[in-house]
Amino acid sequence: MVKRIIWSAQAIADRVSILDYWYQRIGNKKYSINLDKSLRELIKKLSQHTQMGRQLKNREERFFVKDNYMIFYSDTEITIEILQIWDTRRNPDELIFDL
């Protein structure tokens, strides 16, 4: 069964921040556009293969890694909610995963 993908406000903010960072760093949108496309394609696959990520220890949420990014999500009967996108090159102590 294909599930509907829902983006949390945090995940949207993370995505925009990451794409904007690369736009500012490189000076053109090509890399940001390609990165966004690859993230969206992978997340789209999640709607059919909901168990492709690893489950967080002692939690119901799951995550998977795409290049340098961890995508956290929750799986319900009819939806997949993208909770957060984390750049793994950042300080892990800054990761706040609060639901």
Rounded to an integer, what distance in angstroms lies between the CA atom of residue 32 and that of residue 23? Answer: 6
Residue extents of the structural domains in the chain: 4-90
Rounded to an integer, what distance in angstroms lies between the CA atom of residue 47 and that of residue 64? Answer: 14
**Residue with more model confidence, 52 or 73:** 73
Q: What is the predicted pLDDT for the residue at 47?
A: 83
**Residue with more model confidence, 52 or 33:** 33
Q: What is residue 93's DSSP assignment?
A: G
| Residue 46, pLDDT above cutoff 60 | yes
pLDDT in tens, 22-41: 999 998 899 999 999 999 99
Write down the CATH number for the domain with range 4-90.
Answer: 3.30.2310.20
User: In 27-80, which residue ranges form alpha helices assigned H by DSSP?
Assistant: 30-46
Query: In 10 A of CB 47, how many CB atoms?
Result: 14
- The reported pTM is 0.84
